[in-house]
A and B are shown apart, each in its own frame.
Chain A
Amino acid sequence: MIPVPFLTLLLFLPLAGSLLLLAMTRRESLARITALTIALAETLLACSAWFCQGSTTPQAAPPGFFLFLDRPWIETLGIRYTLGMDGISLLLVILTAFVTTIALLVSWRSIKERVALHFLLILAMESGIIGVFLSLDLFLFYLFWELMLIPMFFLIGIWGHDRNIYSAVKFFLYTMIGSLLMLLAIIGIYLIHGQQSGVYSFGLSELIGTNFSTATGLWLYGAFLLAFAVKFPLVPLHTWLPDAHTDAPTAGSVILAGLLLKTGAYGLIRFGYPLFPEAARTLTPLLIGLAVAGILYASWIAFAQKDMKRLVAYSSVGHMGFVALGIGAWTPVALSGSLLQMINHGLTTTALFAMVGMLDEQAHTRQIEDYGGLWSKIPIYSAFFVLFAMASAGLPGLNNFVGEFLILTGSFKVAQLATVLAFIGVILPLVYTVRLIQEVLFQEERRPLSMTDLSLREILILTFLALADIVIGMHPAPLLEVLKVPVALLTGGAP
């Protein structure tokens, strides 16, 4: 077993790296290399956690957690520094480290101003996101939940384009309103649990099992659901997302879609359902309804988009609707599907945003109608584009298909009508994806754009993502194996 501070190291290595970058504001290439080194080290560290599974469970760890760290922090308020890693956290942390590395590589050349600050913010955000995925204390969770917003706000605000400030502020305000109400709900649980048991604590494992009156439970869960639904995003709280995506720099879009959206789903799985099983069950029809509405509505809107980034952004809303559907069904199969789909969506959307960013970098336009005939001009790019677009549309053999299939199979028993409607949502992405491919890659050239094909760095980025897509699509069993124990524990069966 690895000595205890492993989780602390995993959590704070990027933040320490970002502090290191503070000293390099005038040396751009050094800053780039340092940031990449830190991100790669973090990826290695995250992957090494994979091998900690199955070793003896650490003392006092809740079931399912193979890495656990519990230290007193603000004792007067019962706040502890509790971190834990189970299969769900493991996969999401690896995804975070991987996507962050990609985000750094994607902005390697495209960011020319204040380079060190840009990389510094990305690394700081990585720490925030990993903190969200590891925290088992509600106060700590809230801390990281807020902390990851600030770097993203600056990324969009400083390096974004068009209406970047409007989008950055909109993003921040939407999430803040949701999360402040969640803070009030966290205080509420803390006090109710304290009054019932006499022990004031923010620890998740202590708070699970607190009894609420039906109304109180609904209010508190409602506040949590609101905060998570904004992040998800569920229709009708999604309007910040297309703006934020469109105006963010490529690295911002990649992290936003690849990672930040997952925190909402994760919060619902880790905190929402376990803390308020009764209220969650009562509001399940609402969640499923919003999920299906999101799947259909977002696909419909995506079809009408002229801006490629907006199109991918709306497709994200649709895909996250599937994740919400799986969570709403709360059966082992559907929940594993949702978790797998979170990983898949992270990989595929990261790739699509990176690719749109690459086009934008050369031609300085993201309008679909400006492109055409790319297949003959930049074949390597086009091949990758088709692959990722097809993965996103759910082509069997690629990763998204597995997730969607599991979600639909798992949900059918619980919510038949919703599942049938969601099936239509599987077909719709195919429609707009095929249109996108057709217009951008195959149609006649509409504007004489001089394009050069991918550089070695870009090929490297995309190859890694493509490999991940294909491997998960062909052989998802290892990932599902990792998820099996925590999912069984969450859904109430024996592991």
Chain B
Amino acid sequence: MTTADLWVAFPLILLAVGALLTLLLGAVTRDDTAATIIGVAVTLGAACWLLQTPPAPLAPTLGLSAARLPRLFGVFFALLAAGVLGLSSGYNRERGISGEEYPATVLFATFGMLALASATNLLTLFLGLEAMSFGFYILVAIDLKRATSGETGLKYLLPGALSTAFLAFGIALLYCASGTLSLQEAVPLSVTSGRPDLIALAGWGCLLAGIAFKLSLAPTHLWTPDVYQGAPAPVVAFLSGGSKAGAILLLLMLLPATADATLLRVPLWGLALLSMLVGNLAALRQNRVRRLMAYSSIAQMGYVVVALLSGKSGGYQAAAFYALAYGVISLAAFGAISVIEREGVGETLDDYRGLGRTKPFASGVLALAMFALAGIPPTAGFTGKFLIFASAVRSGEIVLAIVGILLAALSVFYYLRVVVTLYCKNSDTAESSQPSIPEYLVLLIASAAIILFGLWPDSLILLLSDLLQ
């Protein structure tokens, strides 16, 4: 291993060592604060490291790359993890989730995301994906004191394991068809060599099925509402923001390399349409905020697939932009939900009545997130939707664009329901305590990012289109 290799692998090592250190710390002290602080320091350190320009962009022996796109997403994952850790401390204390395994698992999942982002061959990619998924299997069920926790964990683990099997099999088939594990060579050869190679095509089918599960695209979305409902709120923020951005990044790495994606158009088209329909229509009838957010996320991922379909005409940038924007919005929304729930508010919309008065800060952030998800300017959600629809129209996906925009108009209804409940109905609860300082910071930064990327998206769009040429 050369120093250049070490440079590329350093953030991964940092995260893994950080995770182990936090675990060891548990033997010395029972104070969770120390573990959380170490976790935040490690993620921020990894983010800072990734911001530098590497001496060499590739570490071929390790199957890792330090190109700009993986580093951009790496920074995003690390910051998201730091935000999640910041949110968790208060929430976990209230819920009685204690122990150093929580921050350690968050770090380990971040390690997985980063490995996934920087993979250059299918094996590293799979390892990263697995590391991330394992982290989430644990995190989703980490609230041991709640009766539903085990159920939630199982509902995520079983379909998750199935989807992993699909992914592994897909990778094996691609390897079988192309004889190489390199991401650049295994993927394009298969679909574009004259008439479609059936083995490669089957491999792609398995890959898509596995990724669709991670993105919770209809019809593989059934786990989403239950997991969103049962997992701790900061974990849902991480899952919704991080794991989905990871899956989108995966598609962004694979799809442009296929060179000719016409064969994949039909399944992607169907996934996009079905997800937008199922997500938006089902969300209309939800009475629990978290389930509503789950269906909303299904719909939002449908929009991302619309962008991926129109990749060559700016869709890849749009998808990447939306992945990042959605991550930040998720962090804000579930951060606000975590602050609200921490203070003993229930899960149904009825419990959220009049919170705009008693919890002005958290409600304000939640309302902003709702407006962003509904695609109302000047938020990052609007800019993202705008880019998506512009790319869809440009590439001639008019049907998807029109259906998507009509469903987006419909979606305004259920997002507004949340805002209405927060502000326009009266509650009988008394004034309650303020959010803690880390919660304040995380939510404030996330909200600022939502507005800033809505008003001045120029540099990010420019960067993304530069990276995804």
| A positions within 8 Å CB-CB of B | 73-77, 114, 142-143, 146-147, 149-150, 153-154, 157-158, 164-165, 168-169, 172-173, 176-177, 180-181, 183-184, 187-188, 190-191
Distance, CA A153 to CA B413, complexed state (A): 12
| B positions within 8 Å CB-CB of A | 357, 371, 376-378, 382, 386, 389-390, 393-394, 401-402, 405-406, 408-409, 412-413, 416-417, 420, 423-425, 456-458, 461-462, 465
Picked from B376, B412, B424, the residue with its CB within 8 Å of the CB of A173 is B412
Tell whether, in the assembled complex, residue B371 and residue A169 are in contact, meaning their CB atoms are under 8 Å apart.
Answer: no
B386 / chain A contacts, CB cutoff of 8 Å: 183, 187
Q: Enumerate 10 A-B pairs (CB-CB under 8 Å) in ascending A order.
A: A74-B458, A147-B377, A157-B423, A157-B424, A172-B416, A177-B409, A180-B408, A181-B406, A183-B405, A191-B394
For the residues of B in contact with A, the DSSP-based class is: helix
Distance, CA A190 to CA B387, complexed state (A): 12
Tell whether, in the assembled complex, residue A169 and residue B416 are in contact, meaning their CB atoms are under 8 Å apart.
Answer: yes
Distance, CA A76 to CA B459, complexed state (A): 9
Tell whether, in the assembled complex, residue B420 and residue A169 are in contact, meaning their CB atoms are under 8 Å apart.
Answer: yes
Tell whether, in the assembled complex, residue B390 and residue A172 are in contact, meaning their CB atoms are under 8 Å apart.
Answer: no
Known: A150-B376, A173-B412. A76 touches B462 (CB 8 A): yes
A114 / chain B contacts, CB cutoff of 8 Å: 357
Tell whether, in the assembled complex, residue B378 and residue A184 are in contact, meaning their CB atoms are under 8 Å apart.
Answer: no
For the complex formed, measure the closest distance between the CB of A355 and the CB atoms of chain B, giving whole angstroms.
27
Across the interface, name the chain B residue whose C-beta is closest to A190.
B390
Additional A-B contacts beyond A169-B417, A187-B389 (16; CB < 8 A): A74-B461, A76-B462, A77-B461, A147-B377, A150-B376, A164-B424, A165-B420, A165-B424, A165-B425, A168-B420, A173-B409, A177-B409, A181-B406, A183-B386, A187-B386, A188-B393
Distance, CA A177 to CA B457, complexed state (A): 25
Tell whether, in the assembled complex, residue B389 and residue A183 are in contact, meaning their CB atoms are under 8 Å apart.
Answer: yes
Question: What are the 3 A-B residue pairs with the smallest beta carbon separation, nearest first?
Answer: A157-B424, A177-B409, A143-B377
For the complex formed, measure the closest distance between the CB of B312 and the CB atoms of chain A, giving whole angstroms.
14
Tell whether, in the assembled complex, residue B424 and residue A177 are in contact, meaning their CB atoms are under 8 Å apart.
Answer: no
Distance, CA A176 to CA B389, complexed state (A): 16
Tell whether, in the assembled complex, residue B423 and residue A154 are in contact, meaning their CB atoms are under 8 Å apart.
Answer: yes
Tell whether, in the assembled complex, residue B416 and residue A153 are in contact, meaning their CB atoms are under 8 Å apart.
Answer: yes
Known: A74-B456, A147-B378, A173-B413. A187 touches B390 (CB 8 A): yes
Distance, CA A114 to CA B424, complexed state (A): 12
Tell whether, in the assembled complex, residue A168 and residue B424 are in contact, meaning their CB atoms are under 8 Å apart.
Answer: yes
A142 / chain B contacts, CB cutoff of 8 Å: 377
Distance, CA A169 to CA B416, complexed state (A): 7
Distance, CA A180 to CA B393, complexed state (A): 14
For the complex formed, measure the closest distance between the CB of A458 and the CB atoms of chain B, giving whole angstroms.
28
Tell whether, in the assembled complex, residue A146 and residue B424 are in contact, meaning their CB atoms are under 8 Å apart.
Answer: no
A158 / chain B contacts, CB cutoff of 8 Å: 423-424
B413 / chain A contacts, CB cutoff of 8 Å: 169, 173
User: Which residue of A76, A143, A150, A187 has the most chain B CB atoms within 10 A of its CB atom?
Assistant: A76
A164 / chain B contacts, CB cutoff of 8 Å: 424
Known: A75-B458, A147-B378, A188-B393. A181 touches B405 (CB 8 A): yes
B377 / chain A contacts, CB cutoff of 8 Å: 142-143, 146-147
A73 / chain B contacts, CB cutoff of 8 Å: 458
Distance, CA A154 to CA B423, complexed state (A): 8
Distance, CA A304 to CA B402, complexed state (A): 40
Known: A75-B458, A169-B416. A184 touches B401 (CB 8 A): yes
Distance, CA A154 to CA B356, complexed state (A): 12
B382 / chain A contacts, CB cutoff of 8 Å: 146
Distance, CA A461 to CA B413, complexed state (A): 37
Distance, CA A169 to CA B284, complexed state (A): 14
Distance, CA A154 to CA B417, complexed state (A): 12
Distance, CA A172 to CA B371, complexed state (A): 12
Tell whether, in the assembled complex, residue A76 and residue B461 are in contact, meaning their CB atoms are under 8 Å apart.
Answer: yes
Distance, CA A78 to CA B417, complexed state (A): 35
For the complex formed, measure the closest distance between the CB of A359 and the CB atoms of chain B, giving whole angstroms.
25
User: Which residue of B382, B386, B402, B457 has the most chain A CB atoms within 10 A of its CB atom?
Assistant: B386
Across the interface, name the chain A residue whose C-beta is closest to B383.
A74
A169 / chain B contacts, CB cutoff of 8 Å: 413, 416-417, 420
Distance, CA A165 to CA B458, complexed state (A): 37
B465 / chain A contacts, CB cutoff of 8 Å: 76
Across the interface, name the chain A residue whose C-beta is closest to B411.
A176
Across the interface, name the chain B residue whose C-beta is closest to A174.
B409
Across the interface, name the chain B residue whose C-beta is closest to A172.
B416
Across the interface, name the chain A residue whose C-beta is closest to B376.
A146
B405 / chain A contacts, CB cutoff of 8 Å: 180-181, 183-184
Distance, CA A169 to CA B425, complexed state (A): 13
Distance, CA A184 to CA B401, complexed state (A): 8
A176 / chain B contacts, CB cutoff of 8 Å: 409, 412
User: Which residue of B357, B405, B461 has the most chain A CB atoms within 10 A of its CB atom?
Assistant: B405
Distance, CA A157 to CA B423, complexed state (A): 8
Distance, CA A172 to CA B402, complexed state (A): 19
For the complex formed, measure the closest distance between the CB of A169 and the CB atoms of chain B, giving whole angstroms.
6
A183 / chain B contacts, CB cutoff of 8 Å: 386, 389, 405
For the complex formed, measure the closest distance between the CB of B260 and the CB atoms of chain A, giving whole angstroms.
24
Across the interface, name the chain A residue whose C-beta is closest to B463.
A76
Distance, CA A157 to CA B417, complexed state (A): 11
For the complex formed, measure the closest distance between the CB of B379 and the CB atoms of chain A, giving whole angstroms.
10
Tell whether, in the assembled complex, residue B458 and residue A76 are in contact, meaning their CB atoms are under 8 Å apart.
Answer: yes
Distance, CA A173 to CA B456, complexed state (A): 27
Picked from B393, B458, B462, the residue with its CB within 8 Å of the CB of A184 is B393
User: Which residue of B413, B424, B425 has the most chain A CB atoms within 10 A of its CB atom?
Assistant: B424
